[in-house]
A and B are shown apart, each in its own frame.
Chain A
Amino acid sequence: MPYFKTSQEWLDLSVALLEARPSQTRVTAKYSIKPVKPRKAADPSSTSADESSSPSDPKPPRGSLVLKTYDPVSGVALKYRTTKAAEVTRLMYAAMGRLGRAQAGVQDVPEETMQDADAVETPQGEQTPTQQQQQQGAAGGGGGGKKKKKGKK
């Protein structure tokens, strides 16, 4: 199963999978560290003068975080991978929390009810800043942004 390009895509489909198979689907976060292989040929600056410093200066090991939603019965696996520390809090709190609530069977604020709600309410769930900006831009037209979102589903 390939990796998803965006975490939002991964989250949307993971929620859908959990809704279909709430009891057996599991969500795993794998944090792994791998040593960086030293490069030899690709470093033209490593002349004899630099050699004293550069080879004894290994890069710190690389870490990565892989999120995986897996349903053992149907064999569906949804994955997302990142190496950015900036994403950890959002993924582990918002995304995993959302999936945890789905697993617990706690009712999220359903997104379908948003259409009739007053324009004051903010949309549920994560959004990229650009989407929010678009919605703010369209705020003059009342629920314009929300309609758009509903159409996306």
Chain B
Amino acid sequence: MASAHLSQDEFFDKLGHLFNHRKGSDHGAIYLTQKRLTYDPSEKSTMAKLFPDLLPNKPLPIIVRATNGKSKRDRSDKDKLSTVVEPHELEAFYARYADVCKAGMGALKPRDKKKSKAKAKKKKATA
């Protein structure tokens, strides 16, 4: 298990592999999760621990995780990735994230060009 967080470059690289691995098969899933990163071992204040929602006086990093959803009997095949995104990196991160997802999610329905063209023709004909 890779317990340490990856750098963003590594994360996107491995996420690409995760998607590619999925492309060959006809079933399966990939889970992408994002959450505020509140875990801070240096945090002493119990107030902050008990009422984490009360503390956002400064921007906090978020953690983005990705897995291939294998658990229980397939646990040995489980792939887990995670990376931490600092507040100022969010914009750049999501731009790359969307690109990788777009490239990886190949089994979704493509935009149907034929249909829209036919429709446009019909509209022109009626107008």
Contacts and interface: CB of A to CB of B under 8 A. Distances in A.
* B and A form one assembly: yes
Interface of A: 21-35, 60-65, 82-86, 88-89, 92-93, 96-97, 99-101, 103-106
B33 A101 contact: no
B59 A63 contact: no
A56 B32 CA distance: 35
Interface stretch (B4-12, B34-42, B75-83, B117-125): B34-42
Contact of A83 (B34, B62, B108): B108
A61 B19 CA distance: 15
Nearest to B66: A29
Nearest to B103: A88
Given A100-B62, A105-B59, A106-B87, A34 B27 contact: yes
Contacts of A62: 107
A35 to B, nearest CB: 4
A97 B33 contact: no
10 contacts: A30-B31, A32-B30, A85-B108, A88-B101, A88-B108, A92-B98, A101-B87, A103-B34, A103-B62, A105-B87
